[in-house]
């Protein structure tokens, strides 16, 4: 058990004092929760095996699930990765700092704890002033998974991170809300063509501009073969169902609310169409998918706070950041849908309230 200290930090112009305090903890092998442009992470010195092991303990994370290494300048790339593919520095210059993680051949310097024994390493340069300044001040790459307890929704505010990590880390740097709200896009550069292993804040369309021919891994839809997708993810405690469209969202929520507490997670546009008695969490506007991404994980946490019997969540268009949104939504719901047949099967074969 640790005393967790929370220190406010200006996200756009972090002060030297706060960063100095945090970097001292990293240098001593401690854990610091830090904001990135995607979600909050739990950072430790990536080159210190003992510090890295503490991350796994703090999260309750299975040892076989590797960590992303965060760097602050291109020079650090060759410390952590080897046999860089041709054109790597040009590519890095185009997308970094930013929400893209590249899977590369690992350098011998990276301890096996970080990569879970794999010969590849996941690397990214985050586009958040606090993260960049902390990595530089610590003079070491920082390994950082999302700062949630394993399987819980990723934290997009310091309060979310503190909720899960209080007593488990030395320091939380509170830089307010993260910018994107969904994690980085993970791209495997060790295969014949670049493969998107995890859809994220950097859209497939943006990626194809810099890496034409990138493909989305078949398994990124949920097959268990893709690393990092084997494990249960983002799950709220409340049972959640995904509505295929607006009609299903409002009909299922109206019917179920006859006999139970239903909470709908939706856009402001869909909220206008709901029966006014139905409890709801408005995540943003359907016309601005970035607003939905930013509030998605916080809304999943809010769903649990409402104490509903069941949650029903809207579907969004799969384009741009919508790919990442739908990936997280489907996983959060364990791929359950809100049609009559599925709902009946959840309640011993009969539709409830009828």
Name the residues that contact Mg ion, by CB under 5 A.
146
Q: Is omega for the bond preceding 171 within 30 degrees of 0, making it cis? A: no
Q: Which residue has the CB atom at the shortest distance from Mg ion?
A: 146
Q: Which does 38 bind (CB under 5 to 8 A by kind): Mg ion, ligand TXA, none?
A: ligand TXA
- Closest contact distance (angstroms) between CB of 126 and ligand TXA is 6
- Closest contact distance (angstroms) between CB of 328 and ligand TXA is 11
- Residue among 39 and 278 whose Cβ is closer to ligand TXA: 39
- Closest contact distance (angstroms) between CB of 323 and ligand TXA is 15
Residue list 207-236, contact with ligand TXA (CB under 6 A): 227-228
Token pair in block for residue 148? 């949630």
- Binding-site size, ligand TXA (CB under 6 A): 25
Of the candidates 313, 81, 297, 289, the one whose C-alpha atom is nearest the C-alpha of residue 205 is: 289
Token pair in block for residue 108? 């011998």
157 binds ligand TXA (CB under 6 A): no
Output the furthest CA–CA distance in the chain (Å, rounded): 65
- Closest contact distance (angstroms) between CB of 157 and ligand TXA is 14
143 binds ligand TXA (CB under 6 A): no
Q: What is the DSSP string of 209-241?
A: HHSTT-EE-GGGGS-TTSTTSSS--S--SS-EE
Q: Is 20 exposed, middle or buried (0-12, 13-18, 19+ CB in 10 A)?
A: exposed
- Residue among 114 and 308 whose Cβ is closer to ligand TXA: 114
User: Under a CB-based contact definition with an 8 Å cutoff, are residues 245 and 315 in contact?
Assistant: yes
Q: Which residue has the CB atom at the shortest distance from ligand TXA?
A: 228
**How far apart are the C-alpha atoms of 135 and 131, rounded to whole Å?**
6
Hey, is 87 helix, strand or coil?
Answer: coil
- Residue among 150 and 190 whose Cβ is closer to Mg ion: 150
Q: Which does 203 bind (CB under 5 to 8 A by kind): ligand TXA, Mg ion, none?
A: none
- Closest contact distance (angstroms) between CB of 67 and ligand TXA is 5
292 binds ligand TXA (CB under 6 A): no
- Residue among 188 and 314 whose Cβ is closer to ligand TXA: 188
156 binds ligand TXA (CB under 6 A): no
**How far apart are the C-alpha atoms of 116 and 231, rounded to whole Å?**
14
**How far apart are the C-alpha atoms of 255 and 269, rounded to whole Å?**
20
Hey, is 46 helix, strand or coil?
Answer: coil
Residue list 261-280, contact with ligand TXA (CB under 6 A): none
22 binds ligand TXA (CB under 6 A): no
Token pair in block for residue 330? 């489907």
Strands (E), the chain: 5-8, 32-34, 41-45, 68-70, 81-82, 100-106, 120-124, 142-143, 171-174, 185-188, 195-198, 215-216, 240-242, 262-267, 279-284, 310-313
Q: Which of 23, 138, 140, 184 binds ligand TXA (CB under 6 A)?
A: 184
Residue list 91-130, contact with ligand TXA (CB under 6 A): 99, 101, 103, 115, 118, 120-122, 126
**How far apart are the C-alpha atoms of 150 and 231, rounded to whole Å?**
9
Q: Name the one range near ligand TXA by CB under 6 A: 21-29, 32-40, 254-262, 293-301.
A: 32-40
- Closest contact distance (angstroms) between CB of 154 and Mg ion is 5
178 binds ligand TXA (CB under 6 A): no
Which positions lie near ligand TXA, rule CB under 6 A?
A: 36, 38-39, 41, 65-68, 99, 101, 103, 115, 118, 120-122, 126, 144-146, 183-184, 186, 227-228
């Amino acid at each position: 058990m640790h005393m967790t200290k929370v220190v406010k930090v200006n996200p756009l112009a972090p002060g030297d004092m706060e960063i100095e305090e945090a970097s001292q903890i990293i240098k001593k092998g401690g854990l610091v929760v830090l904001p990135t442009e995607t979600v909050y992470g739990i950072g430790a010195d990536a080159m210190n095996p003992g510090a890295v092991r503490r991350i796994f303990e703090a999260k309750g994370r299975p040892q076989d699930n590797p960590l992303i290494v965060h760097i602050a300048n291109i020079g650090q790339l060759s410390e952590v990765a080897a046999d860089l593919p041709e054109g790597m520095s040009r590519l890095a210059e185009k997308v970094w700092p930013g929400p893209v993680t590249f899977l590369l051949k690992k350098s011998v310097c990276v301890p096996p704890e970080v990569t879970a024994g794999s010969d590849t390493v996941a690397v990214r340069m985050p586009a958040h002033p606090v993260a960049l300044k902390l990595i530089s001040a610590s003079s070491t790459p920082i390994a950082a998974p999302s700062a949630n307890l394993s399987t819980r929704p990723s934290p997009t505010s310091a309060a979310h991170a503190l909720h899960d990590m209080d007593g488990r880390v030395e320091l939380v740097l509170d830089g307010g809300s993260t910018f994107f709200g969904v994690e980085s896009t993970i791209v495997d550069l060790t295969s014949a063509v670049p493969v998107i292993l995890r859809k994220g804040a950097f859209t497939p369309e943006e990626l194809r501009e810099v890496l034409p021919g990138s493909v989305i891994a078949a398994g990124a839809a949920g097959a268990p073969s893709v690393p990092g997708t084997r494990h249960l993810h983002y799950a709220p405690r409340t049972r959640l169902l995904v509505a295929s469209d607006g009609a299903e969202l409002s009909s299922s929520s109206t019917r179920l609310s006859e006999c139970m507490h239903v909470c709908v997670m939706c856009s402001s546009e869909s909220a206008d169409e709901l029966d006014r008695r139905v409890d709801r969490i408005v995540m943003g506007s359907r016309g601005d998918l970035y607003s939905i991404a930013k509030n998605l994980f916080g809304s999943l946490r809010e769903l649990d706070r409402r104490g509903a019997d069941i949650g029903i969540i809207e579907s969004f268009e799969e384009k741009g950041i919508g790919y990442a949104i739908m990936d997280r939504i489907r996983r959060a719901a364990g791929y359950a849908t809100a049609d009559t047949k599925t709902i009946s099967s959840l309640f011993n074969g009969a539709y409830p309230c009828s």
